[in-house]
Every structure is written in C-alpha cells, then in structure tokens.
C-alpha cells in the first residue's frame, strides 16, 4: 500500500509551490520612513509652488518617483519638477536621523534567514539612502541579494525590480513572496507572478492592500508567518 504513495506525494509537491525566497520592501515595511517621505515631498511641492494634498502624497509613497510626479503634479513645469525633486531629496536627508527600524523587524529577518529562506531586499531607494537604511537595519549578514535604484529604469509598480531580485537570487517567481506596505509593492508582485503579503506599518489599510492583490495582511513584519 505504502509503496504507491511517494509517486502521489511527488506530484503534489510539484503542483504546490514552496516558498524559498522572501523579498522585502524597506520603506514603511522594515523602516518607519513613509511619513518622513510624505513630509519631505510635501515640503518639496510647497517649495516649488505646487499644491498637493498630503493624503495623496502618502498614497503614492513607494511608487516610482517619475510616475509619482506624473500622477500628483501633471501640470508642473520642468523647473517646478526639478525644484520639488531637489527640495525633497535635501529635506529627506535632513530627516534621516529620525529613521527607526520597526520593532521586531530585524529579528524577523534574522529568524527567516536562519530557517533557510533566501532573504532579499527589493528596493529602488537611491544609493545614498540605501546605505543609511542598510546600516540602520544591520542585517547584511542575513541577506542573499540587495537591489537598488541602479538595477532598473522603472521602479514599482513595474515588476522589473522584483524580476532582477529573483534573477540575482536564482529563484523562480512561484517560489518567492514579496512583503511590502504599499499598493505599489502588491501590484509589482502580481505583475512579477510573486505572491504578495501586506503589512500595515506604512499607513495603508488592509482593505487597500487586499484590493491591490495582497494574499494576507499582517500588522507588521514582526507578526509575519511564512507558510
């Protein structure tokens, strides 16, 4: 009787994908930075004479910055766009000392790496920001791959960043999950064929994350359970 089972089990295993890699967004997911980004962009827009509601800025954090600008200030002049970008960048640099890692996030990354998962940081943060974020996180020893702005031409919600991350990690999409806090993370994951998990720490609601494709939503990375 038992001799027949392994064949069936092998088939089952082929049909059910196994999560082996976890792609983490950083901003708003591992580090409490979304509201600082809202602050910096709002300052940048105001300084360039552009009126944008702050809740709309918030909802577009995590989106590719060119697309963010196209969406939020479609009528801005080239000079205003340059001003807004420069002010945002300078203002955010001033806010960096206020960045904090979410409680338990560092420990969760370490725990998952020790459990055998391939852990990846899938971000398009500019190099100077990424350096600060990585130092703050202090989890480099647990990471298989880290992407950055230089890896792709277009950031989330395009799938490119996730595809680069998967390629670098040598993992197929069906064996990976993306953990993020923004609608743009969820959409990028869907487009890359990666299962998406949402967290509330970026200030976007569970309903919005589910509508954008999240299969599960946890309050924070500390609460994450990978099955």
The residue ranges that bind its own copies (CB under 8 A) are 28, 32, 34-36, 38-39, 42, 46, 51, 53-55, 57-59, 98, 100, 102-103, 200-208, 220
**Is 54 or 174 the residue whose CB approaches its own copies more closely?**
54
Other Cβ atoms within 10 Å of 158 Cβ, number: 20
**Is 39 or 160 the residue whose CB approaches its own copies more closely?**
39
Which residues, in sequence order, are bridge partners of residue 197? 179, 216
3-state secondary structure of 197: strand
We find the least distance from the C-beta atom of residue 95 to its own copies, in angstroms, to be: 10
**Is 175 or 208 the residue whose CB approaches its own copies more closely?**
208
We find the least distance from the C-beta atom of residue 4 to its own copies, in angstroms, to be: 48
Largest CA distance in the chain: 77
Q: How is residue 168 written in tokens?
A: 């670098």
**Is 39 or 129 the residue whose CB approaches its own copies more closely?**
39
- Are 155 and 145 in contact, with CB atoms under 8 Å apart? no
We find the least distance from the C-beta atom of residue 58 to its own copies, in angstroms, to be: 5
We find the least distance from the C-beta atom of residue 143 to its own copies, in angstroms, to be: 23
Alpha-carbon gap, residue 101 to 140, rounded angstroms: 14
**Is 11 or 100 the residue whose CB approaches its own copies more closely?**
100
We find the least distance from the C-beta atom of residue 108 to its own copies, in angstroms, to be: 15
Strand-by-strand arrangement of the 195-199 sheet: 145-146, 118-121, 21-24, 176-180, 195-199, 216-218
């Amino acid at each position: 009787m038992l001799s027949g089972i392994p064949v069936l089990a092998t088939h089952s295993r082929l049909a059910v994908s196994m999560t082996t890699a976890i792609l983490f967004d950083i901003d708003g997911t591992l580090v409490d930075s979304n509201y600082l980004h809202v602050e910096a962009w709002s300052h940048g827009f105001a300084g360039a004479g552009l009126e944008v509601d702050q809740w709309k800025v918030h909802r577009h954090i995590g989106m590719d910055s060119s697309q963010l600008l196209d969406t939020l200030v479609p009528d801005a002049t080239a000079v205003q766009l340059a001003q807004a970008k420069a002010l945002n960048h300078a203002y955010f640099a001033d806010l960096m000392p206020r960045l904090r890692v979410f409680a338990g996030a560092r420990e969760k990354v370490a725990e998952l790496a020790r459990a055998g998962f391939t852990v990846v940081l899938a971000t398009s943060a500019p190099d100077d920001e990424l350096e600060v974020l990585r130092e703050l996180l202090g989890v480099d020893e647990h990471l298989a791959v880290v992407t950055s702005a230089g890896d792709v031409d277009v950031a989330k919600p395009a799938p490119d960043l996730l595809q680069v991350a998967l390629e670098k990690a040598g993992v197929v999409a069906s064996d990976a999950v993306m953990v993020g806090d923004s609608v743009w993370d969820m959409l990028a994951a869907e487009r890359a064929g990666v299962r998406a998990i949402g967290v509330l720490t970026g200030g976007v609601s569970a309903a919005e994350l589910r509508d954008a494709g999240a299969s599960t939503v946890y309050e924070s990375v500390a609460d994450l359970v990978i099955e």
